[in-house]
Amino acid sequence: MEDLKSVLGECGFSFKKQWGQNFLTDTNLLRAIAQDAGVDENTTVLEIGAGAGALTRALSGRAKKVLAYEIDRSLEPVLARTLAGCENVEVVFQDFSKAEMSEVEKELGPFVVAANLPYYVTTPIVMRFVEESKNCKGLTVMVQEEVAERFCAKEGTADYGAVTAAIARRGTCKITRRVPREMFTPRPNVDSAVVKIDFTSGGFEVASPRAYRETVRCAFLSRRKTLENNLMSVFRLGREEAKEILRAAGIADGVRGETLSPKDFARLSDLLFEKGIVK
């Protein structure tokens, strides 16, 4: 492949900060990300943010098919050169947040997401797959290191929050590698990490995903309040009723929401749903 930086220069490309354009060039790292994602010749990959196509090309070499979204049309001449000969790649120049998940899924069948995500929309993009996708088997994504810590946090820690609990319902989450800021062009102000979220293992069923979401939201609404007090104010319960529900869910008196495990949230939300407190 031609040298990426020269191609960008020859195409007159200028980096746009507002779209999180921090590109990767290190071929060993790119290969390692494709490997972390478990991509092989039977895998269909969805990439969000093709950029100059470095990761796209690494994925293309291992995958059955790669569908890549890119918001910036000025990258079209760049990608025409960097992805020359990659017959299994399709690039769609569109804002991924405007794409319908059901349409994307219809086109792909079972797929994995592999991407170096634009930092300004990392969490909303990941949450869309967590909450909406049916065919996605998992995501392997480069994100800011502190966001990675939040995604994989353990209960009772400061990083643990609503996003952690949402991801845990669908599967397992782990950091596969830390990536220093020096690996990107241009260099961002933070370090990054690759996170692997696997929807094929470790997730659990709940009576209502919506009730689970509402229960988790309630628990983290005011982190300093006890769960009992948050339940009372969010769902307009009396103290005795809140205590009884917690007891029935096997949750100790006086705890704060952040100490509950995702499975504790599931038991609590199933009860609230059964009782018609959360629809």
Interface positions with ligand SAM (CB under 6 A): 19-24, 48-52, 54-55, 69-72, 95-97, 116, 118, 121
CB of 11 to ligand SAM, least distance (A): 13
The pair of three-digit structure tokens given for residue 64, joined into one six-digit string? 């059955």
CB of 105 to ligand SAM, least distance (A): 17
CB of 77 to ligand SAM, least distance (A): 14
How far apart, in whole angstroms, are the C-alpha atoms of residue 203 and residue 175?
Answer: 17
Burial of 106 from C-beta contacts in 10 A (0-12 / 13-18 / 19+): exposed
CB of 87 to ligand SAM, least distance (A): 19
The answer to whether the CB of 62 falls within 8 A of the CB of 91 is no
CB of 35 to ligand SAM, least distance (A): 15
**Residues found in the chain:** 279
Q: Which is nearer to ligand SAM, 78 or 231 (CB)?
A: 78
How far apart, in whole angstroms, are the C-alpha atoms of residue 231 and residue 114?
Answer: 38
Burial of 9 from C-beta contacts in 10 A (0-12 / 13-18 / 19+): exposed
Q: Which is nearer to ligand SAM, 99 or 255 (CB)?
A: 99
How far apart, in whole angstroms, are the C-alpha atoms of residue 126 and residue 253?
Answer: 34
How far apart, in whole angstroms, are the C-alpha atoms of residue 37 and residue 201?
Answer: 14
Q: Which is nearer to ligand SAM, 74 or 157 (CB)?
A: 74
Q: Which is nearer to ligand SAM, 183 or 234 (CB)?
A: 183
Q: Half-sphere exposure (CA, 13 Å, Cβ side) for 83?
A: 25
Question: How far apart, in Å, are the Cα atoms of 99 and each of 22, 125, 131, 225?
Answer: 23, 11, 15, 39
CB of 106 to ligand SAM, least distance (A): 19
Q: Which is nearer to ligand SAM, 48 or 227 (CB)?
A: 48
Q: Which is nearer to ligand SAM, 178 or 275 (CB)?
A: 178
